[in-house]
Amino acid sequence: MVEESDYLKVISDTLVNKGEYNFKEEKTAQKFAREVLSEAQYQYEDEGYCHKYEDFKDFLYTHHVDSIAYFIYGDKYSN
């Protein structure tokens, strides 16, 4: 069974650690990753992406999650 920490690692590795989204503090980067994960889980289940992507972890690598991150970053974290 995949744990939430595994999902957070995927988000951190694909969005934060590659420099796509920059943060001054690690604590802020972790908060951002949790927010993206939360919204991704919501969209996966409630917006029907579970019918298109059999595995939630696969969904985390899609442009849908990148879009979620883009809007969260722009709304709360960009200067």
pLDDT tens, 7-66? Answer: 999 999 999 998 889 999 999 999 999 999 999 999 999 999 999 998 999 999 999 999
Would you state the pLDDT for residue 19?
85
Burial degree of 77 (CB within 10 A; 0-12, 13-18, 19+)? middle
Instruction: Kindly report the pTM of this predicted structure.
Output: 0.91
Place of tokens 């722009």: 74
Give the model confidence (pLDDT) of 24-38 as tens digits.
Answer: 999 999 999 999 999
Question: Can you tell me the distance from the alpha carbon of 42 to that of 24, in angstroms, rounded to the nearest whole number?
Answer: 28
User: How does residue 78 score in pLDDT terms, banded at 50, 70 and 90?
Assistant: confident
Residue spans per domain, the chain: 4-77
Cβ 33 vs Cβ 73: under 8 Å? no
